[in-house]
Structure 1
Amino acid sequence: MKLLSVEAARTAMVAEASALPAQTIPLQTANGRVLAQDVAADRAQPPFTNSAMDGWAVRAADTPGALAIVGESAAGHGYEGALAPGQAIRIFTGAALPDGADSVVIQENAARDADEVTVPAAAPGDNIRDAGKDFRAGDVLLTKGTRIDPWRLSLAASAGCAEVSVHAKPRIAILSTGEEIVEAPAVPGPFQIYDSGSPALKVMCEAWGAEATKLSGVRDQLDAVIAAMRGAEADLIVTVGGASVGDHDLVRTAAEALGIRYRVESVAIRPGKPTFFGVLADGRRLLGLPGNPASAFVCAELFLKPLIAAYCGAAHAPRMATARLAAPLAANGPREHWMRAKLTYKEGGITAQPYRDQDSSLVSVFAAADALLRRPPSASASAAGDLVEVLLLDRAG
């Protein structure tokens, strides 16, 4: 089988995942979704010049001195008249600046006595927010392809958006295979293990913006694997296990029975070499991941996450950073190696400590890691303190 580099494999996969059609949804439900259209402002923000502080709206030319208090301007209730020479208006943060005023004196710097207030010298523009300071009517605030988060949702809301156009979520069907896999609360037999891969992949897919369904696991029977694949209602089928070439690895055979056209046959990566990707005869895409959890999760980060982003209409590149090695590493072999690592943040940068045991079956190591350390193919030995690339994992804290 032809081995592709990680970058070439990712490029080939993403090329087969077009953005899904647009749908209009309420803004309040749009967190995590990707915009299918730009979001533009209906009006300026702020729509009027206003005060940045509690204090007194004045004419700078009248300061310093004692001024007659003639009214009040509060947020949502502006002063209707115009400020004349020698006058001051009590004003509060966010309230509209009255006509005629050009400055706000903060309340701590003024002294009120009945119907007069004595203010120090002020300059035009003091403590004032101009109309349109944040954005103006017609400004494009968020562009197509942007993923909505709480801060961007706030920006869209401030622009008067009640609804936004987003790409539909891709439907992902996750299928685990293997006689050795059972799902809790079922009791495993003496030679079986609990399924730790597909439950985590389902949550990953949902966090990355997809609708994910975990299909019932199937045993190592070709007809059962074919039937499960054929019945999956999905844009992308993700299989876990059975992707290699052993006697009990039936996923590729099943995919070939369904007319797969391979785009990626195998990847020059460690862990995860058996990973493959292709297009079934009916147009559905299929991503085959290895069965070992670490292999599956590494390849999910590198390939499944970008695929979901492409379906959602968003660009995606792994979140990479530069760190210094905490310990020396031996020279790498011919495959790109992604090592689970722990990061330490210090003054002067990030330190990466790869875990000593990188066995791809170890779920506990992946649960503790917060980064994947990239070792290029045939990299020479590295000393403690050398710079390395790390992919930052989304961890809960």
Structure 2
Amino acid sequence: MLSVAEAQARVLAAAGARRRETVPLHEAHGCYLAEDVTALLSQPPFNASAMDGYAVRFEDIAPGMTMPVIGEALAGKAFDGVWEEGVAIRILTGAPMPEGTDTVILQEDVAYEDGAIRIMEEGPGFAGRHVRKAGQDFALGALLLKAGSRLNARAIALMAASGHGMAEVYARPRIAILATGDELVPPGAQPGPDQIINSNGVMLSALARAAGAEVADLGILPDRHDVIRDAIADVKDVDILVTVGGASVGDHDYVQAALVDAGATIDFWKIAMRPGKPMMLGTLGDAVAIGLPGNPVSAYVCAQLFLLPLVRHLMGASNPFPAPLQGRLTMDMPANGPRANYQRAHVAAGPDGWEVTPFPVQDSAMLSRLEEANALAIRPAEAPAAEKGSNIAFLPLNND
């Protein structure tokens, strides 16, 4: 069986070339830049008032003096008169500073009467007070974002302010999900006496969409080799094909053989981990084929470790794998066996850092415990017994 690290490396190696596309900024959230972004203009593009007040030349003012007000400057409407020495111009936040002025006196620091202001107290204190200089935020041609950056709301705002309306990004991966099993019915349906509800499709769709992928849930297939084979062969124009269930080699596990008959090449189908041992990887044309176990917790853990990193890789992430954190056990743990163990756990802040409490029952079909968990505690293969207070690695579950 492969180690988790080797399986992760093979998953990324199976991926094809990343696709690029140009999208409007309002569609770019969560995407990764395919090229550097530089400023197409300076911000602010002119010296601008940072406050409501009066624009003056600093060397003209002194506490207690009176200055005539000869006009106004508004955001979006510059002062269109002629500035003279010793005068003030009413100005509002964001308005261009009139030529000849260099300082703003706050409106609360003056007394206005009969078309003139009288400066009270000490005034602005220094030249340039309450003025945003042209290019103070960024200048034309400045490097703002590097290729590979993930576009969050702040980065999108920066691109918009710098003159961009479109973003060159790596395309969102297209994923098709197929579940197999005669025992499955879709969510909302009434299961028969020997059936259960397929929770994996909606769960995996939600995870993949949250990571940025475009997802098509193709529903449930019966446990028939020919039906599964034909359905797989009909899947077109996807980057990732995800099958759920039937990934092992039991008498009614048809997915691996159906994939091969549909033209896929299988890389591996066993990983030294639990839950999730019978996960399968292959390629089908240009698509990566991932076969996930049918147990919902196993499918979820494998999605966290393999499917979502593949999505992030195809989207352009430089480091697509989740980074483990360190905490302290709140209980003794027995020695682990030959497979890495990813245990549902609760993590909370303690006086000396994170405190990790693995749940006592780890059955891979128990979704209630998965929903309660906020982390996966990691026990490496062949790890010795661990005492309460000893260090343990964990993966936060905060991305879905």
Relative to the length of structure 2, the TM-score reads 0.90
Q: How does 1:214-229 map to 2 (within 5 A)?
A: 214-229=217-232
1:314 to 309, 312, 317: 317
Residues 184 and 194, structure 1, Cα contact 8 Å, conserved in 2: yes
Deviations for 1:245-287, whole angstroms, at most 9, x for unmatched residues? 222222222223334333333222111111121113x333210
Deviates more, 1:365-374 or 1:311-320: 311-320
Residues 275 and 297, structure 2, Cα contact 8 Å, conserved in 1: yes
- The 2-side partners of 1:385 and 1:77 are apart by 65
- The 2-side partners of 1:353 and 1:34 are apart by 35
1:198 aligns with 2:201: yes
What residue is the counterpart of 1:70 in the other structure?
A: 70
Q: How does 1:22-171 map to 2 (within 5 A)?
A: 22-61=20-59, 62-68=61-67, 69-81=69-81, 83-114=83-114, 115-119=116-120, 120-121=122-123, 122-171=125-174
Residues 260 and 266, structure 2, Cα contact 8 Å, conserved in 1: no
Q: % of aligned pairs identical?
A: 41
- What letter is aligned with 1:161? H
What residue is the counterpart of 1:393 in the other structure?
A: 397
Deviations for 1:1-37, whole angstroms, at most 9, x for unmatched residues? xx22222211211122234332222222222333333
In structure 2, do the counterparts of structure 1 residues 321 and 52 end up closer, same or farther at CA, with 3 Å as the change threshold?
farther
In structure 2, do the counterparts of structure 1 residues 329 and 164 end up closer, same or farther at CA, with 3 Å as the change threshold?
same
- The 2-side partners of 1:385 and 1:56 are apart by 63
Give the secondary-structure state (helix, strand or coil) at the position aligned to 1:200: helix
1:371 aligns with 2:372: no
Task: Give the deviation of 1:330 after TM superposition.
Answer: 2.4
- The 2-side partners of 1:387 and 1:73 are apart by 63
- What letter is aligned with 1:118? I
Task: Give the deviation of 1:302 after TM superposition.
Answer: 0.8
In structure 2, do the counterparts of structure 1 residues 130 and 384 end up closer, same or farther at CA, with 3 Å as the change threshold?
farther
- What letter is aligned with 1:116? I
Give the secondary-structure state (helix, strand or coil) at the position aligned to 1:173: strand
Give the secondary-structure state (helix, strand or coil) at the position aligned to 1:300: helix
Residues 12 and 264, structure 1, Cα contact 8 Å, conserved in 2: no
1:243 aligns with 2:247: yes
Give the secondary-structure state (helix, strand or coil) at the position aligned to 1:272: coil
Deviates more, 1:345-354 or 1:119-128: 345-354
1:338 to 334, 339, 342: 342
2:388 to 366, 384, 388: 384
Deviations for 1:136-164, whole angstroms, at most 9, x for unmatched residues? 11123233333322222211111122222
Deviates more, 1:246-255 or 1:106-115: 106-115
- What letter is aligned with 2:13? A
Residues 22 and 167, structure 1, Cα contact 8 Å, conserved in 2: yes
- The 2-side partners of 1:395 and 1:312 are apart by 16
Residues 266 and 283, structure 2, Cα contact 8 Å, conserved in 1: yes
What residue is the counterpart of 2:14 in the other structure?
A: 16
Task: Give the deviation of 1:332 after TM superposition.
Answer: 2.2
- The 1-side partners of 2:66 and 2:332 are apart by 74
- The 1-side partners of 2:17 and 2:64 are apart by 65
- The 2-side partners of 1:49 and 1:361 are apart by 63
Residues 19 and 313, structure 1, Cα contact 8 Å, conserved in 2: no
1:187 aligns with 2:190: yes
- The 1-side partners of 2:393 and 2:127 are apart by 52
Give the secondary-structure state (helix, strand or coil) at the position aligned to 1:303: helix
1:328 aligns with 2:353: no
Q: How does 1:255-274 map to 2 (within 5 A)?
A: 255-274=259-278
Relative to the length of structure 1, the TM-score reads 0.91
Residues 19 and 310, structure 1, Cα contact 8 Å, conserved in 2: no
- The 1-side partners of 2:383 and 2:91 are apart by 66
- What letter is aligned with 1:14? L
Aligned length: 393
2:177 to 171, 174, 178: 174
Residues 180 and 246, structure 2, Cα contact 8 Å, conserved in 1: yes
- The 2-side partners of 1:187 and 1:116 are apart by 78
- The 2-side partners of 1:273 and 1:322 are apart by 25
Runs of 5+ consecutive residues of structure 1 not aligned to the other structure: none
- The 2-side partners of 1:317 and 1:216 are apart by 28
- The 2-side partners of 1:132 and 1:389 are apart by 46
- The 2-side partners of 1:347 and 1:56 are apart by 53
Give the secondary-structure state (helix, strand or coil) at the position aligned to 2:65: strand
Task: Give the deviation of 1:100 after TM superposition.
Answer: 2.5
1:298 to 287, 293, 301: 301
What residue is the counterpart of 1:210 in the other structure?
A: 213
Give the secondary-structure state (helix, strand or coil) at the position aligned to 2:7: helix
- What letter is aligned with 2:12? V
In structure 2, do the counterparts of structure 1 residues 190 and 385 end up closer, same or farther at CA, with 3 Å as the change threshold?
same
Give the secondary-structure state (helix, strand or coil) at the position aligned to 1:4: coil
- The 1-side partners of 2:349 and 2:92 are apart by 43
Residues 184 and 196, structure 2, Cα contact 8 Å, conserved in 1: yes
Task: Give the deviation of 1:292 after TM superposition.
Answer: 0.4
